[in-house]
Amino acid sequence: MSVINTNVSATLTQNAISKNERAMSSAMEQLSTGKRINSASDDAAGLAIASRMTSQINGLAQAARNANDAISLVQTADGALTEVTSMLQRMRELAVQSASDTNVSADRTALNQEFTELRSEINRIAANTQWNGTNILDGTVGSSGELSFQIGANASQTISVTLDDFQTTSDSQSTTLTANTSTAASGPSATGAAQVSTVVIGGTVTEGDVLTLAAGGASVSYTVTAADVATGSSTAADTVATALSTALGTVSGITKAVSGATITFTASSTSYGSNSFDLQVGDGGLMSGISSSEITSQSLANTAVAALDTAIGLINTERSEMGATINRLQFAADNLLNVKSNAEASRSRIEDTDYASVTTELARTQIIQQAATAMLAQANQIPQTVLALLK
């Protein structure tokens, strides 16, 4: 049918040109931005997936930074405790020296002067060591000394470490330990008598409080648990007394008995030389067992050695935990970066422009654009054939 008003061929060609222009414009936009998805209409599902992946990637990147910050914090604590360990070793050396009767009273006084100065420095380090403006060795950091590090892109993906109270003072908690000797051991010329000493749990028993006890050659550090206080304040001290005695275990040369909140220690022998024992208690922190130690006499020096052995053992345990946590955090950080790299690669396959494919598409649309323009010119010439009919 020959018509003039409606040029169907030209209309079809214009529609084809319009579609091709959209395809060519999309290809040019992808090549210009480097992204395959520049608006939701490009790939609605792909946009949602890429957005979720972006959230994960950003979270993983921040989690890796969190892990490295956590490593720095724990390393700061461990570095401070390195010096504390050195001072404890020196204090033990001084106590061993003072325990020998080759020293006179003036010598022991001089040794005790250095001993107390070192203890004061331990307390100062514990009270003043900070990371990012926060004390980390006085038991106040985090939640009762427990730090939770966010090491993951999603909520509650954490690693925890406990930094205890390393102060030598004993006034930072509610639970208390009090030691008392009710029967002194007899001397070489006295009637045989065995030493009897008691340890009483007092104050307000509170979860998380640390109690240290050294009797004879045994020592223990006990942390009050939620179960200890769950039975109520009237029996919590009794529960802790039993738990503390159990944790201490069997002590050579000493018998133990628990009655209520009191632990009674009795030397097994009445013979001089084996009828006495050293007893040291502490509350408020891992180092509180040496809070009242002195080396001004042979007896006090021997007691100090036992307390220092407990303190050194506790420091070693804490540093071992810190070292293990540092290693764990390092592996966690490495894993986070590995997961982040794989997530970025996955997002790239969804979101980024494949230049080889899109440049081919651009060339195709440009050729079609040129061909369509030529065909539109031909379609516009078709109505002129009607003039031949009018001649």
CA distance 211 to 280: 11
Residue 7 located in a structural domain? no
Helix, strand, or coil here: 314? helix
β-pair type (146-150, 158-162) = antiparallel
- Rounded to the nearest integer, the mean pLDDT of the chain is 90
Dump pLDDT digits (tens) for 26-71.
Answer: 899 999 999 999 988 889 999 999 999 999 999 999 999 999 999 9
Q: How confident is the model at residue 233 (pLDDT cuts 50, 70, 90)?
A: low
CA distance 364 to 372: 12
β-pair type (175-183, 210-215) = unpaired
Residue-number span of the structural domain to which 251 is assigned: 173-283
HSE-CB of 221 using CA atoms within 13 angstroms: 26
Residue 14 located in a structural domain? no
pLDDT value for 307: 84
What's the domain count of the chain?
A: 1
Q: Which of 389, 388, 374 is nearest to 13 (CA)?
A: 374
Residue 181 located in a structural domain? yes
Helix, strand, or coil here: 38? coil
Residue 277 located in a structural domain? yes
Residue 270 located in a structural domain? yes
Dump pLDDT digits (tens) for 65-117.
Answer: 999 999 999 999 999 999 999 999 999 999 999 999 999 999 999 999 999 99
Q: Which of 258, 257, 226, 228 is nearest to 240 (CA)?
A: 228
Dump pLDDT digits (tens) for 340-363.
Answer: 999 999 999 999 999 999 999 999
pLDDT at 154 over 60: yes
Residue length, the chain? 391
Question: What is each CA distance from 62 to 55, 56, 153, 314, in whole angstroms?
Answer: 11, 10, 8, 34
Residue 367 located in a structural domain? no
Residue 247 located in a structural domain? yes
DSSP string, 119-153: HHHHHHHHHH-EETTEE-SBS-STBTTEEEEE-SS
CA distance 111 to 77: 29
Residue 254 located in a structural domain? yes
